[in-house]
């Protein structure tokens, strides 16, 4: 009893002396919310890759590659319209080029691009992307890409075997595109901005507005669980926003259980609670094993024959050692996991148990099965 009392006293002192901030999961506003309007824009283009070592498109099978090659040569002053059948090169491939134009990208800055084979090219390693305009959703050209491809893949083949590591039909070009047109957005001229929460939650939004109003004045107002409106009518938007994004709040997490049946993965939030429920887990297993034996007659016996004698062993496992577990009302995630582990429940069985608890109305959380 003295030992137990000493342990309880030690635990109480530890919890008392432990700094409260260490137990709180405070995060910066910039890590859980975005400023609406400040975002990337997707770009796409169609181009040609040349210089491949016989791993490009087959021109007879890919009409778009052949026509693109003819059109490119005509723009360079080479006429091949009368000799289309003579084009049999395998060193060229048609590709789709994609990129993301970051916010506030200025004319002349460089961005990364991704190149993916469009036809039946087997390997883009060593190829060179020719000048490719990159368009946005409005049809305007915002960047132009060109450069040497890097796949990071290895592909080798012989008469009877082949090996491939990575994806040789997809490549990247670091700083492979030059921004030609900017997306207009004047942050310093905006008197009103909106913070968009990445995980919409009304409690978290209210906490964000409260800490902003306490620090920089009455400028924040919650309009919905995803949006916090900021009013910079009398303040410098850049300076104020720089202060706001580094403020810390404690986000509120919804009670949710996510189950991936394909991989047997279960993720449970800290706010998951279980009402009073009894759990028993076990299956009846009957195992039949055949171990036939050979019976031979004694030496020099008259009329004896060799015979196979069956031997059958039957075992029944009704899992009588498994106990009925009772979880009292309001147990936490830690209690739930500990109780189910005590029953010897694996991840696959835990999925069925959680679904049954939810069906019984005892799981006080959203159950999402993927």
Residues 198 and 109 in one domain: no
Q: Using CA atoms, how far apart are residues 270 and 273, in angstroms rounded to an integer?
A: 9
Q: How confident is the model at residue 26 (pLDDT cuts 50, 70, 90)?
A: confident
Q: Using CA atoms, how far apart are residues 146 and 130, in angstroms rounded to an integer?
A: 5
- pLDDT above 60 (res 323): no
Residues 131 and 175 in one domain: yes
pLDDT recorded at residue 5: 41
Domain count, the chain: 3
What is the residue-wise DSSP string for 245-300? TT-EE-PPPP-EEEEETTTTEEEE-TT-EE-SEEE-----EEEEEE--EEE-PPTT
Q: What domain range is 339 assigned to?
A: 257-294+312-369
**Residue 303 belongs to some domain of the structure:** no
Residues 45 and 172 in one domain: yes
Structure tokens at 78: 């080479």
**Is-contact 331 338, C-beta < 8 A?**
no
**Residue 34 belongs to some domain of the structure:** no
Residues 281 and 331 in one domain: yes
Residues 46 and 148 in one domain: yes
What is the residue-wise DSSP string for 265-278? EEEE-TT-EE-SEE
Pairing of strands 170-179, 110-117: antiparallel
Residues 275 and 331 in one domain: yes
pLDDT > 90: percent of the chain: 29
pLDDT recorded at residue 14: 39
**Residue 83 belongs to some domain of the structure:** yes
> Distance between alpha carbon 269 and the CA centroid of its chain, in Å?
18
Residues 197 and 283 in one domain: no
- pLDDT above 50 (res 277): yes
**Residue 360 belongs to some domain of the structure:** yes
Structure tokens at 33: 């919310």
Q: How confident is the model at residue 93 (pLDDT cuts 50, 70, 90)?
A: very high
Structure tokens at 290: 């055949």
Buried b (16+ CB within 10 A) or exposed e, 19-44: eeeeeeeeeebeebbebeeeeeeebe
pLDDT > 70: percent of the chain: 73
Taking the alpha carbons of 6, 12, 16, 21 in that order, is the dihedral positive or negative?
Answer: positive
Residues 149 and 209 in one domain: no
Residues 207 and 265 in one domain: no
Residues 170 and 267 in one domain: no
Residue showing tokens 């009670």? 255
Average pLDDT of the segment spanning 318-330: 53
**Residue 3 belongs to some domain of the structure:** no
Query: Under 8 Å CB-to-CB from 310, ≥6 apart: which residues?
Result: 290, 292
């Amino acid at each position: 009893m003295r030992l137990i009392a000493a342990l309880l006293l030690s635990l109480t002192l530890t919890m008392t002396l432990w700094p409260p901030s260490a137990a709180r999961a405070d995060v910066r506003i910039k890590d859980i919310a975005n400023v609406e309007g400040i975002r990337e824009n997707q770009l796409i283009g169609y181009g040609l890759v040349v210089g491949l070592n016989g791993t490009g498109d087959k021109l007879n099978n890919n009409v778009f590659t052949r026509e693109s090659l003819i059109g490119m040569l005509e723009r360079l002053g080479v006429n091949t319209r009368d000799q289309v059948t003579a084009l049999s090169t395998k060193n060229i491939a048609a590709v789709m080029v994609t990129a993301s134009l970051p916010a506030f990208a200025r004319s002349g800055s460089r961005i990364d691009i991704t190149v993916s084979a469009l036809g039946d090219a087997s390997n883009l390693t060593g190829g060179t992307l020719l000048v490719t305009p990159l368009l946005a959703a409005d049809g305007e050209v915002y960047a132009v890409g060109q450069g040497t491809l890097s796949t990071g893949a290895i592909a080798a083949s012989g008469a009877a075997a082949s090996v491939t590591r990575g994806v040789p039909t997809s490549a990247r070009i670091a700083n492979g595109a030059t921004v030609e047109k900017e997306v207009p957005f004047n942050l310093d001229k905006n008197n009103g901005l909106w913070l968009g929460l990445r995980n919409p939650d009304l409690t978290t939004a209210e906490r964000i507005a409260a800490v902003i109003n306490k620090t920089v004045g009455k400028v924040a107002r919650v309009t919905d669980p995803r949006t916090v409106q900021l009013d910079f009518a009398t303040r410098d938007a850049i300076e104020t926003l720089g202060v706001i994004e580094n403020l810390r709040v404690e986000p509120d997490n919804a009670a949710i259980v996510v189950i991936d049946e394909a991989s047997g993965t279960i993720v449970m939030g800290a706010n998951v609670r279980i009402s009073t429920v009894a759990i028993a887990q076990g299956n009846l297993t009957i195992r039949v094993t055949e171990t036939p034996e050979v019976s031979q007659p004694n030496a020099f016996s008259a009329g004896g024959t060799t015979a196979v004698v069956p031997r059958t062993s039957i075992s029944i496992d009704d899992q009588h050692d498994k106990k009925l577990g009772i979880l009292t009302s309001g147990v936490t995630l830690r209690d739930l996991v500990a109780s189910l582990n005590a029953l010897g429940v694996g991840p696959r069985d835990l999925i069925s148990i959680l679904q049954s608890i939810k069906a019984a109305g005892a799981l006080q959380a959203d159950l999402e099965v993927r």
